[in-house]
Each structure stands twice: as structure tokens, then as C-alpha cells.
Amino acid sequence: MATITHFEIHDVRFPTSLTGDGTDAMNTDCDYSSAYISLYTSSDLVGHGMTFTIGRGNDIVCEAIRQVASRLVGKSAEELFADMGKAWELLVADPQLRWIGPEKGVIHIATGAVDNALWDMYARARNKPLWKLVVDMSPEELVRSAAWRYISDAITKEEALAMLKKNEAGKKEREAHVREVGYPAYVTSAGWLGYSDEKVARLTKEAVQAGFNHFKMKVGASLENDLRRGKIIRSIIDDPQYLPEGSKARDPNGPELRGKNAGPTGAVLMIDANQVWDVQQAIDYVRGLEEIKPWFIEEPTAPDDILGHAAIRRALKPHGIGVATGEHAHNRMVFKQLLQAEAIDVCQIDSCRLAGVSEVLSVLFMAAKFGVPVCPHAGGVGLCEYVIHLSLIDYIAVSGSMERNVLEFVDHLHEHFLFPCSINARGRYNVPANPAEGYSIEMRKESIAEFGFPHGSYWVKAKGGKQ
């Protein structure tokens, strides 16, 4: 029986600040980075996981990962796999580490990297992609695998079990359907704040040609500039001449698009402020963008301000604009309150700000009960590889819903992974199908050697190891 013997941690940073990738009103200088861990066992079984940061501080996360991962050394892999909810509780149970959370901040995202590595190892041990491992679980095993403390006032284990059992019917059909058509995606790569108007227009046209019909742009630095950029994007996505050859406009009032402010071709525009506003400022600013018809405003204010989000949602509802948030929500308790307060129209989980798959499952259960679609955040290195698994779990096993959901896609840095995600001609994610890929997050050794910080070949050459 394999025992976890040791681990390796790498601080990997990519110089995306040089091209403006990832820029928004709050985050103006982004070097997409990975705090990366590999868990090793007494057999040839290995598990990989990571947490995403944007540069400085990645070393701090790596040290926190080291502290958390040490709790797994000497443990039997199969005993951990037998109850992944209990394994998650082990990771968060160190009282001294918990004190510097609790269950939030650096220690929590470090726990996410470790829990994800353990889930990756579990999937590899069963020779299945992560999503397939989870959807093949019985409802009882799925409930047992989640994180439950502090959320029973929103959903009980019994409620989740009943919901999952009800959705057992149709699971095989849903799996076959999504394998055939792919999972709906939206594109953010055209809308970074640091791009020129010409680059925005070019990338938007390319995205339309690639089959996308949901697009997101960053806002918040200048209302005048945001309106101009929004009109550029709208002029392209609403014009049938830019549609791929042979494709037709989608019905803006169809069930998939109703309530999304879709334009005449069925295209949808979303906007993202990355937390820059106070509550009233957010309301006033977004009202000023009503002309470009956004479906939702993402992260309009501080991510911990549940009542602020609720107030913004109430104020914008008469204007037909929704509210989305979650990529910086610390934990399941923040999501619980956002849902209970009716503060969001769209739930945006992050694969590694939450503390791994087990906590993600808890949020999926709650969102399904409250009837709020889950559209995961994926703007960063490795996140697209991660989140397609989570969206497949949600669709096939939990909510049973896909067509109103969209999963973020950014076309950056996929080449650094052994099993990169991919998009089909319909603008949808392909379903990960390689039984050896686990959670799809294994990084190429040559990428670690080049971009490991501060001693990787790129950083030694570019900055002498300084950042």
C-alpha cells in the first residue's frame, strides 16, 4: 500500500507583465505565477497541485504549502482516498496554522494546492481524469468527500444527498452529451485593460471566428474609455458579418440567453471591475455602462462585502444588469452568505482560492440548491486546466444544468502543462479524456526549469533573480 513519503515545491513565475496580459483596474502589474507542489509516494504514484498568484508573494505561499503538506507525510494514500472529506479536515486541522487563517488567506490557498494534489493523485490511482473520478462516485461518497463545517444552515448533508440521488437519472446522458458538444466557454483574452483599441478589436474578431458568443472586458479605470472599448466589442460581436462562415445568429430570447442582455446575433458581453469601487460608486458607474448592455458586473466591490453586493444587485436589477463574484471569496462560508443574502446572479468559484476540490463540492451543492449558475473563474495560469473538471462535475452530477453556464477561457500559458485544455470549433471546452491526466495540472519539467524563481534560466538571464 502506497504511503506519502515526501513532496517537492516550486515557485514558478511567468513574465506576463511585459505584454499586459491579466491587466485590470486593480491589478496593473501581473506576472502570472504558480505555487506548485508534487506529492510523492512509496510507489510510482504522484499527485500534482498548485495555487495561482500574480508574482510577489508566491514564495510566501510556497512556504505555507510546505507547512500544510507536511501533515500528509507518512499517511496511507488509500486510507486518505477512502474518505476525502476526512482528509480535507486533516489538512485544515493544525491549530497553529489555523490561527493565521482561519480558513482564509495564504494558509487557505496553500491548503487548496495540497488538497488538489491529493485529488490529482486519487484520480491517477484510479486511472481516470479528475472529473470522471468524481462523477462516477455514488451520491453518498460525493457527500462524504465535501467540506461541511459551518454550512448546515444553508444546506444539510441530507439535502445534498437527496439532490444528488435525484440527479442520478440522466447522468449517463449528460456525460455523453457534453463529450459530444463540449462545455460552454467565454473569452476574457480580448478585454484586458492594458490592450490598445486595435488589439481589442483584433482579438474580439478572432474570438468570434473561434465560435465564442460570450465575451468579458475589464472596466473601472475610466468610464469614457470603458464605454469606447465596450462599443468596439459590441460593434463586432453584434454584427453578423463577423460570424464564422456557415454559422447563424443565436436567438437572444432563447432559453440559453434570456435575461443575459444578448445582442442581435445572440452575443453576450460581461464586465469585470476587480473590486475597485465602493458600493454607491459601483452602482453609479455601472449605470453609466448600461448602453453596452452587460449581462453582469463582476467583482464590483470588496469580495468580503456580502451586503454591499446585495445592495448593488438590488440597484442594478431594474437596469437588467446582474452581479457576479467569487474568485476572491475566501471560503464556502462567504459563498453561503452571498447565496443567503440573494447578493449574486452568478457564482464564480476559483479552483485554488477555495481549499481544493472538497470545498468546491460544498459550494456546488449550495449553488445548486439556491438555483444560481456556477461560472468558474479561470483567468490565470493553470486555472483553465483545473476548472473544466469542476464545471463537468457540476453539470453531470450536481446541478444537471449547462447551457446557461459559461466557463472562462484565457489563451495564455497552456503550453506549460502536459495535458493542456482545448477549445473546439463551437467555442466550447473539450472534455479531458486521457485517463492518465488526473486533474490536468502537471507542469512540464522544462517549464519549471526555465521559469522557476529566482534560479530558473529565464529569471537568471532577465533580472538576475530579482523581481
DSSP letter for each residue of 328-374: T--SHHHHHHHHHTT--SEE---TTTSSSHHHHHHHHHHHHHHT--B
Inform me whether the pLDDT recorded for 68 exceeds 60: yes
- Cell numbers found for residue 141: 461518497
Q: State residue 26's pLDDT score.
A: 63
Inform me whether the pLDDT recorded for 22 exceeds 80: no
Q: What is the DSSP letter of 443?
A: B
Inform me whether the pLDDT recorded for 449 exceeds 80: yes
Inform me whether the pLDDT recorded for 60 exceeds 70: yes
With residues binned 3-state (H G I as helix, E B as strand, rest as coil), the percentages for the chain, rounded to 5, are 45, 15, 45
Mean pLDDT (whole number) for 428-445: 98
Inform me whether the pLDDT recorded for 372 exceeds 80: yes
* CB distance 31 to 24 below 8 Å: no
Q: State residue 190's pLDDT score.
A: 79
Mean pLDDT (whole number) for 215-235: 95
Q: How confident is the model at residue 365 (pLDDT cuts 50, 70, 90)?
A: very high
Q: Is the peptide bond before 318 cis (omega within 30 degrees of 0)?
A: no
Q: State residue 147's pLDDT score.
A: 98
What is the CA angle 92-93-97, rounded to 5? 75
- Cell numbers found for residue 270: 460581461
Q: What contacts 251, CB < 8 A, 6 or more positions away?
A: 257, 266
Q: State residue 189's pLDDT score.
A: 80
Task: For residue 317, give the 3-state DSSP assignment.
Answer: helix
Q: How confident is the model at residue 466 (pLDDT cuts 50, 70, 90)?
A: low
What pLDDT digit, counting tens, does each position of 88-97 carry? 999 999 999 9
**Domain at 171-429, CATH from 3.20.20.120, 3.60.15.10, 3.40.50.300, 2.40.30.10:** 3.20.20.120
Q: What contacts 2, CB < 8 A, 6 or more positions away?
A: 41, 42, 43, 45, 76, 77, 78, 125
Q: Is the peptide bond before 454 cis (omega within 30 degrees of 0)?
A: yes
Q: Residues, the chain, total? A: 467
What pLDDT digit, counting tens, does each position of 250-304 carry? 999 999 999 999 999 999 999 999 999 999 999 999 999 999 999 999 999 999 9
Using a pLDDT cut of 90, give the percent of the chain over it. Answer: 92
* CB distance 111 to 49 below 8 Å: no
| Per-position DSSP letters for 392-414, written without gaps between them | HHIIIIIS---TT--EEE--SSG
d(CA 301, CA 283): 10
Domain boundaries, given as residue ranges, for the chain: 171-429
Inform me whether the pLDDT recorded for 20 exceeds 70: no
Q: State residue 220's pLDDT score.
A: 94
Q: State residue 191's pLDDT score.
A: 78
Q: State residue 464's pLDDT score.
A: 60
Q: How confident is the model at residue 225 (pLDDT cuts 50, 70, 90)?
A: very high
Mean pLDDT (whole number) for 445-452: 98
Q: How confident is the model at residue 194 (pLDDT cuts 50, 70, 90)?
A: confident
Mean pLDDT (whole number) for 343-360: 98
- Cell numbers found for residue 110: 496553500
Q: How confident is the model at residue 25 (pLDDT cuts 50, 70, 90)?
A: low
Q: How confident is the model at residue 103 (pLDDT cuts 50, 70, 90)?
A: very high
Q: How confident is the model at residue 18 (pLDDT cuts 50, 70, 90)?
A: confident
Inform me whether the pLDDT recorded for 23 exceeds 70: no
Query: Buried (b) or exposed (e) across 94-132, using 16+ Cβ within 10 A?
Result: eeebeeebebbebbbbbbbbbbbbbbbbbbbbeebbbbb
Helix axes 306-316, 279-287, angle to 10 degrees: 30
> What is the value of pTM for the model shown?
0.96
* CB distance 223 to 234 below 8 Å: no
Mean pLDDT (whole number) for 82-107: 97
Q: Residue 385: in which H helix or E strand, if any?
A: helix 383-393
Active site residues: 218, 377
